[in-house]
Amino acid sequence: MLEPFKQFICDTCAGIIEKPEVGWVEWLCYYDEQKGKLINKNFRICHHETRCMILADHHHVSDNHLNNMLKDNSMVIQLYGMLDPEPNVNPQQSKGVKVEDIGETVEFLRRLTLPYYEEARQYWSEEIADGYISEANEISPYFPHNLKSIIERYSR
Ligand SMILES: [Zn+2]
């Protein structure tokens, strides 16, 4: 079983990122002329290797080492700021949500904040097809003990 918040699954090669020091976070951040603000999207976790860093040459890339992004919850804090204006921003000057897709951003937050989610999410479609836990209610699949039992049931 992966060690929560230390080991991740690479979004490119699907291999295990054994420790934060060999991981990378990348996403796109661009200025949207119509909305008049910066927009973030395509959040990814991958190996810090050229073959896995697929956004590295993109002219809108934002990126950093996974261990830097995990330290002090720095990526989580950035994501919160993208979803909702910081409390110290004057509401009149706030430009609102700075992500393209709230669902995608919350999914990325789940990977960074819910223990065992990173590993269990691989089995999500099988779990839903079986109705193993997700039938109970909307939040029960996200509890750590349920995520762990999804991993135990579906990993082979
Ligand atoms: Zn990889």
Tens place of pLDDT per residue across the chain (156 aa): 999 999 999 999 999 999 999 999 999 999 999 998 999 999 999 999 999 999 999 999 999 999 999 999 999 999 999 998 766 777 777 788 999 999 999 999 999 999 999 999 999 888 888 877 766 788 888 999 999 999 999 997
> What's the CA gap between 134 and 142, in Å, rounded?
9
Cα of 51 from ligand 1 centre, angstroms: 7
How many A from CA of 152 to the centre of ligand 1?
24
Q: How far is the CA of 89 from the centre of ligand 1 (A)?
A: 38
Could you tell me the distance, in angstroms and rounded to a whole number, from the CA of residue 14 to the centre of ligand 1? 6
- Ligand 1 centre and the CA of 34: distance in Å? 35
Q: What's the chain's Rg over C-alpha atoms?
A: 17
Residue 67 in tokens: 């261990």
| Distance from Cα 92 to the centre of ligand 1, integer Å | 43
- The β-bridge relationship of strands 37-47 and 61-65 is unpaired
pTM of the model: 0.92
